[in-house]
Amino acid sequence: MKISGKELASEVYQDVQKKLLMLHQKKVVPQLVIVKSSNIDAVNNYISQKIKKGEKVGIEVKVVDMNERDCENRKLIQKKIIGLNKSANIHGIIFQKPSNSQIDEAIEELIDTQKDVDGFLENSFHKPPVYRGVIKVLEKIFNLEGDEFIAYLKTKKVVLIGKGKTGGQTIISGLKTEGFNREQLTIIDSKTSEVKKKEYLINADIIISAVGKLNPVDLNLFSKESILIDIGVHFDERNKIRGDFNEEDIQDRVGYYTTTPGGIGALTVAYLMDNVVNAAIHTIIN
């Protein structure tokens, strides 16, 4: 059964709109700043999605374009990020991936944890939007929320394929904060043997794929009762966004699944906007 990320995202936006109404009544317009250092199609595609969604819901989205020369100048980077941190009108800052810069982490570590709406920093005020999207899908499938959902999730065997920073690592860190241990979360990466992959996948209740290439594992290893959540992203030969699996290849192999596009990506943008709004609310309260 296909789980629509777009439908679930609409639920998130309903909550976002309620918060925005309160902010707008107080003359506060949440603002997100996207720092980019690359002009490749993937980056521009992601930024365009966020700008359009921000305009639609009432969040101002601005882009700070840093070229390669800028990114080689650490002092210039520090000055720009610190300036964004100090601005009371800016509530969220993200560094758009992928990028040509060799110092992405150095840039990200300068972002104020209150404004780290991507949730990548260790002490971030926010949970990563990707992680929140995955949890939303699972809550929908299990029809549970809160502590009851987490307790039930811990009874399941979760397998994560890939552990990149923007995908897999957000799932690892998110589940760790919920008290997951190594027995409850198994990770498959490039060093995992084929024998172990088979063992893990055949017995998995939930599979989260975060590789960024087509069919990273043997589809025959999926159980028809399992849940497959695809958070991997790549662009095909026609420059169209795609996930780790094609829908026609998996729809009859698993019990529940998400697709790309129309799956976790839609939820990720929704929760990014929610994080920006929450950051704006936090500035009012404090």
pLDDT in tens, 60-115: 999 998 766 666 667 787 888 899 999 999 999 998 887 655 556 667 788 999 99
Confidence of residue 197 (pLDDT cuts 50, 70, 90): very high
Query: Which alpha helices (DSSP H) does the chain contain, by range?
Result: 5-25, 41-57, 68-71, 74-86, 104-108, 129-142, 146-153, 168-177, 194-202, 247-250, 264-285
- Note whether 133 and 157 are within 8 A (CB): no
Q: Could you tell me if residue 7 is inside a domain?
A: no
Q: How many residues does the chain have?
A: 286
pLDDT in tens, 216-259: 999 999 999 999 999 998 888 887 889 999 999 999 999 999 99
- How far apart, in whole angstroms, are the C-alpha atoms of residue 232 and residue 242? 8
Q: Could you tell me if residue 277 is inside a domain?
A: no
Same domain? 62 vs 157 = no
Mean pLDDT across the chain: 91
- How far apart, in whole angstroms, are the C-alpha atoms of residue 39 and residue 225? 42
Same domain? 150 vs 250 = yes
Number of domains, the chain: 2
Same domain? 105 vs 144 = no
Query: Which alpha helices (DSSP H) does 89-222 contain, by range?
Result: 104-108, 129-142, 146-153, 168-177, 194-202
- Note whether 231 and 271 are within 8 A (CB): no
pLDDT in tens, 116-129: 999 999 899 999 99
Q: Could you tell me if residue 272 is inside a domain?
A: no
Same domain? 106 vs 163 = no
Q: Could you tell me if residue 282 is inside a domain?
A: no
Q: How far is CA 221 from CA 55, 134, 171, 196, in A?
A: 43, 22, 22, 11
Compute the average pLDDT of residues 157-165. 93
Same domain? 158 vs 34 = no
Phi then psi for 175, rounded to 5 degrees? -70, -30
The range of the structural domain enclosing residue 214 comes to 129-265
Nearest partner of 94 among 70, 68, 130, 69, judged by Cα: 130
- Note whether 22 and 280 are within 8 A (CB): no
Same domain? 82 vs 134 = no
- Note whether 100 and 89 are within 8 A (CB): no
- Which residues does 282 contact at the CB level (< 8 Å), separation at least 6? 114, 125
Same domain? 103 vs 201 = no
Same domain? 139 vs 111 = no
Q: Which two tokens stand for residue 6?
A: 């777009």
- How far apart, in whole angstroms, are the C-alpha atoms of residue 78 and residue 16? 32
- How far apart, in whole angstroms, are the C-alpha atoms of residue 93 and residue 128? 13
Compute the average pLDDT of residues 149-172. 94
- Which residues does 16 contact at the CB level (< 8 Å), separation at least 6? 57, 270, 273, 274, 277
What predicted TM-score, i.e. pTM, was given to this entire model? 0.94
Q: Could you tell me if residue 225 is inside a domain?
A: yes
Write down the pLDDT at residue 234.
87
Same domain? 94 vs 135 = no
Q: Could you tell me if residue 233 is inside a domain?
A: yes
Same domain? 135 vs 253 = yes
Q: Which two tokens stand for residue 224?
A: 């028809």
Query: DSSP label at 64?
Result: E
3-state DSSP assignment of residue 18: helix
Query: DSSP label at 217?
Result: S
Q: Per-residue pLDDT for 5 more than 80?
A: yes
Q: Per-residue pLDDT for 138 more than 90?
A: yes
Same domain? 168 vs 40 = no
- How far apart, in whole angstroms, are the C-alpha atoms of residue 264 and residue 164? 16
Lowest mean pLDDT among 47-61, 169-183, 195-209, 268-282: 169-183
Q: Per-residue pLDDT for 42 more than 80?
A: no
Confidence of residue 36 (pLDDT cuts 50, 70, 90): confident
Confidence of residue 191 (pLDDT cuts 50, 70, 90): very high
Same domain? 244 vs 176 = yes
164: left (phi over 0), alpha (psi -120 to 50) or beta: beta
Report percent pLDDT > 90 for the chain.
Answer: 73
CATH number (domain holding residue 206): 3.40.50.720
- Note whether 145 and 138 are within 8 A (CB): no
Which is higher by pLDDT, 18 or 237?
Answer: 18
